[in-house]
A and B are shown apart, each in its own frame.
Chain A
Amino acid sequence: MELIAGLVLQGLQMLIVAGLAPGLVGLVRKVKARLTRRRGASVLQPYRDILRLMRKDVVLAENASWLFRVSPYMIFAATWVAAALVPTFATGLRFSWTADLIAIVALLGSARFFLALAGMDVGTSFGGIGASREMMIGALAEPAMLLTVFTVALIAGSTQLSNVVDYMASPAVGIRVSLGMALVALVIVAIAENARIPVDNPATHLELTMVHEAMVLEYSGRHLAMIELAAAIKLMLYVALIGCIFIPWTIAQPGAGLAAHLAGFAAFLAKITLGGTALGLFETAIAKMRVFRVPDFLGAALMLGLLGTLLMFVTRSL
């Protein structure tokens, strides 16, 4: 019985993450449109885009290799598996011990690796420029992310996300400066990793500073749909991750009743709405950076992550 409940919970969570992810993207777009006094497309537009793309033919470049055709599914799978390991509304995930936070970061790294390789595959300058810049951003964002993971793991005594959430929800934590630093660092990393303004502009197609869109320029049809879906899931993953580490109290504990799970789900919906709105506000308020300003931005995250870690050794109470 417990096994079945665990499996149901795990499956439900995976479906919810993938199902709500395009909605989150639509929400961010809607907020941005309203803030710039446009009416904007419906929140459901990303779903329609993905379904439309799925049904369209794939136009492959003549010299695209098998790697180019396999990569979208690999990227989607790696991202989705990583997202499945982040608790959204309940912690009793059946497979949470499969991989810890470090492995989740590395799974996202795998997705990036294959996306960059796919960008190089056709042999166009746009694919190369996107891949090159994505790997530069990744090379700085990943250590910042890992240092944030170190901070959180050193506080919670675990890199296992379910245990981290349980610890964070317990009264033993209190308000800590290191956690504040970790939060800021994680937000910066999330913005960079999801190709949002000011690091990258998800709305442009013809601008030389673009990164993510340049890499996927040669993709079309169902391949593009998989990559768009993976990108949406990645955004969802980061919102869920920030939510479950820093606002953990609403998440249902294992063995809790149906009411607690429903409450957790409602709180999760509130969290992603809040996250999406905040992201829309932030993107509207800030200008895109030059690509060589991005290292300063990410360097700040790196330093905050390191300071957060070191601060804990200076005084245990902070």
Chain B
Amino acid sequence: MAAIDLAVAAIAGLLALSGVAVALRRYRGVSGFVYAASAALCVALALLGGLVLATRAGPAGLSLPIGLPWIGASLRLDALSALFLVLLGTGGATASVYGIGYGRHEEEPLRVLAFFPGFLGAMGLVLLADDAFTFLMSWEVMSLLSWALVLTHHRAAAAREAGFIYLVMAGFGTMMLLLAFGILAGAQGGYGFDAIRAAARAPATTGVVLALVLIGAGSKAGLVPMHVWLPVAHPAAPSHVSALMSGVMTKVAVYGFVRVAFDLLGPLEWWASPAVILIGAATAVMGILFAVVDGDAKRVLAYSTIENVGVIFAALGLALAFRANGLGALAALALTAAFAHAVNHMLFKSLLFMAAGSVLSATGRRDLDALGGLIHRMPVTAFLALVGVTAISALPPLNGFVSEWLVFQAVLQSPDLRQPALQFLVPAAGGLLALAAALAAACFVRFYGVAFLGRPRSPEAAGAAEVDRWSLGAMAALATLCVLAGIVPGALLDLMAPAVEGMLGARVPAQLGNAWLTLVPVAEVRSSYSGILVMVFVAITASAAAWLVHRLASRRVRRGPAWDCGFPNADPFTQYGSGSFAQPIRRVLGTALMAAREEVEMPPPGDMAPARHAVTTRDLAWSHLYLPVAAAIEFAAARANGLQFLTIRRYLGLVFASLILLLVGLAIWN
């Protein structure tokens, strides 16, 4: 059997597993069985994808007699699909294993079980689709199943609202994709991807399609200003589903964009790229800025997903710019950076969402200001979360740094671009990405410092206990992968080379042959980085220093109360919390970008009332874009409502009038 057959079988298995979950709902062990089976199928998908990439197998197609009668469903497995299948399989398998333990706490387990495997399967189907109909169909199924998962805790009003916003935005995004594929298919209606690839288009048409795909796929990925649903919907789902939505589903959206922009659309003019670069860089900064000020552990992670998606899209924009200038090798560098960041983000964001889920199941609290001191009560989770925050803050020697470094290396090749506009834009975008990376470090010091360090701020946090072994195992696997991808990045890059080559016809040089597993993306005189040596050097230096100091100087430790300049206060709320930690950055950057306001209500002297301090931040996209649009729709709907209460004569008159109008229009058109 060819790889594609096996992949389709695994995906069919995942889709069928949803039905099995419903059928077996009466049995007690159904939860463990469904999660274990979906983990196994995901591992199979990841291995299949890895095999296709490693053996550099050519694309293979498969036609299924389902779907529309005269089209059927055509599927295809090429290197790009295989790369994202690896991503999906890894993320799906770890989330499933985590679910075995985490799912026990679910009040209504069937609300997750019935949709979870199907959601994974639908994402796999999007990756394999080879015609517009199958692609859009599976995209929509993926959206709807994830919507159902967002509504797992449907009794909470916040989750219902999140579900509503998500549904509207998902519908809007699919509509944009529908229009894009409509234009791509042309008047003849060639919906197969082969026909779309072969067709020739005017530059203006490709520009319009690119814009539509950027909006359609970008709204699923969380690009600013289409991001508003993401920070409400992702956290509302159970944590392993949040991990999937943030870690994997946003990457499926990235896949959709890459498939259209790099594969189906054909050559693009250079002017298509600045918008992508700019939106990506702006998304990165805005996303992380919201993450820095938010007080909810899972929402912080969701906002940080927006940041990372921004980084990925900025790198994709760079790849488009280099490709339009005929610089294949540099485009390959940028595209590799984007793919590497996609994979890395899946790893550490899944890990962090699972850590947040563990904290949630151990304490029942998601607000950072109720946590604290968990490093003492949940030592393993705390250690694994530390790996995650170090990785996501782009610190060497972990994996987040590798992909950020690759993006910066691509930015530094900007002198080769011929257009002055791009020459100016790219370094400025590089500066924005650097700002986002530095803010990410601040954001995750705050996240980790408030939740895991310090003293507990609530009785729940004080009484927390370590979570089950399945959850810890899933997190440990992801943490290990984060370290491995950081110290042996060459293996990851070489694995992705066929996917990059399939899109651009060029690739970055093979990395695994370099001495000391050094990464040399362009040439050794330009830049090189060896994650494993950095890690070894730091580890040796640190342990040698510790050994020497303990051996030669002193090793005694006395415990005493905290010093705190002589005035320690036992109240845990005298610690820095999430709001106070964010205050400097909120004041410096938030006043303009988030309309952050502080109000102090100070009672007059002699009054015994407490003073109050309130901080408000607003999402300007929400207040300046969405609310006016919603108001306009409401206004139009209220007006149109009058049409419901007319007499039959008037209805007939209206029908007749519109018929005349259409005929007149047709007559003028011809």
| Residues of A that sit less than 8 Å from B by CB | 54-63, 65-67, 73-74, 76-78, 80-81, 84, 95, 97-100, 102-103, 106-107, 109-110, 112-113, 116-117, 119-129, 131-133, 135-136, 138-143, 146-147, 150, 153-154, 157-160, 163, 205-206, 217-218, 220-222, 225-226, 291-292, 295, 302, 305-306, 309-310, 312-313
Contact = CB atoms under 8 A, between A and B. Distances in A.
B558 A57 contact: yes
**Which 10 pairs, one residue from A and one from B, show the smallest C-beta to C-beta distance?**
A128-B576, A120-B449, A123-B454, A77-B542, A136-B584, A135-B442, A77-B541, A54-B553, A142-B438, A143-B434
A222 B562 contact: no
B572 interface: yes
Contacts of A221: 554
Nearest to B562: A61
B610 to A, nearest CB: 19
A103 to B, nearest CB: 5
A123 B572 contact: yes
B560 to A, nearest CB: 5
22 contacts: A58-B554, A58-B556, A60-B560, A61-B563, A62-B560, A63-B455, A65-B376, A97-B524, A102-B527, A106-B401, A110-B390, A116-B445, A117-B448, A120-B449, A120-B450, A128-B576, A132-B576, A132-B580, A153-B412, A160-B528, A226-B549, A292-B588
B541 A159 contact: no
A61 B442 contact: no
A113 B438 contact: no
A218 B255 CA distance: 48
B530 A106 contact: no
B416 to A, nearest CB: 11
B561 A143 contact: no
B120 to A, nearest CB: 34
Contact of A103 (B396, B420, B556): B396
A100 B415 CA distance: 19
A158 B527 contact: yes
Contacts of A78: 538
Given A116-B449, A146-B431, A306-B431, A125 B575 contact: yes
A205 B564 CA distance: 11
Contact of B557 (A60, A67, A206): A60
B441 A139 contact: yes
Given A123-B454, A142-B438, A150-B427, A77 B538 contact: yes
B542 A123 contact: no
Given A59-B560, A65-B453, A310-B428, 16 more contacts: A54-B553, A54-B554, A57-B557, A61-B562, A62-B559, A81-B534, A109-B438, A110-B395, A116-B449, A120-B448, A120-B449, A121-B449, A142-B438, A147-B430, A158-B525, A158-B527
Contact of A142 (B412, B414, B434): B434
Contacts of A66: 375
A299 to B, nearest CB: 9
Nearest to B588: A295
Contacts of A99: 396, 529-530, 533-534
Contacts of B49: none
B651 interface: no
A147 B431 CA distance: 6
B191 interface: no
B558 A81 contact: no
Nearest to A139: B438
A214 B442 CA distance: 17
B620 interface: no
A17 to B, nearest CB: 12
Interface in B519-536: 524-530, 533-534
A206 B563 CA distance: 13
A221 B558 CA distance: 11
Given A99-B529, A103-B396, A146-B431, A313 B424 contact: yes
Interface in B422-440: 423-424, 427-428, 430-431, 434-435, 437-439
Given A147-B427, A306-B431, A113 B393 contact: yes
Contacts of B583: 132
B574 interface: yes
Contacts of B537: 77, 81, 84, 95, 98
A61 B570 CA distance: 13
A147 B528 CA distance: 19
A187 to B, nearest CB: 19
Given A123-B373, A131-B445, A143 B435 contact: yes
Main secondary structure of the interface of B (DSSP, over half): helix
B375 A67 contact: yes
Contact of A125 (B395, B420, B525, B574): B574
B147 interface: no
Contact of A217 (B394, B558, B565, B581): B565
A136 B428 CA distance: 21
B587 to A, nearest CB: 6
Interface of B: 372-373, 375-376, 386, 390, 393-396, 401, 405, 408-409, 411-412, 414-415, 420, 423-424, 427-428, 430-431, 434-435, 437-439, 441-442, 445-446, 448-450, 453-455, 516, 518, 524-530, 533-534, 537-539, 541-543, 545-546, 549, 553-554, 556-565, 568-569, 572, 574-576, 580-585, 587-588
A138 B556 contact: no
A123 B561 contact: no
Nearest to A96: B528
Nearest to B548: A54
Contact of B455 (A123, A129, A135, A310): A123
Contacts of B372: 123
A61 B561 contact: yes
A267 B462 CA distance: 58
B530 A120 contact: no
Contacts of B549: 54, 222, 225-226
Contacts of B376: 63, 65
A124 B562 contact: yes
Contacts of A129: 576, 580
A107 B527 contact: no
B563 A110 contact: no
A106 B397 CA distance: 9
A147 B558 CA distance: 45
A221 B449 CA distance: 23
B371 to A, nearest CB: 12
A106 B449 contact: no
B499 to A, nearest CB: 25
Contact of A139 (B415, B435, B539): B435
A159 B527 contact: yes
A313 B539 CA distance: 41
B557 A98 contact: no
Contacts of B438: 109, 138-143
A57 B555 CA distance: 7
A291 B526 CA distance: 38
Nearest to B560: A59
B654 to A, nearest CB: 60
B526 A132 contact: no
A132 B581 contact: yes
A124 B564 contact: yes
A102 B450 CA distance: 29
Given A55-B554, A81-B534, A98-B534, A125 B453 contact: no
Most buried by A among B401, B424, B546, B582: B546
Contacts of B446: 132, 135
Contact of B441 (A109, A119, A160): A109
Nearest to B572: A123
B373 A67 contact: no
B581 A313 contact: no
Given A122-B454, A222-B554, A206 B565 contact: yes
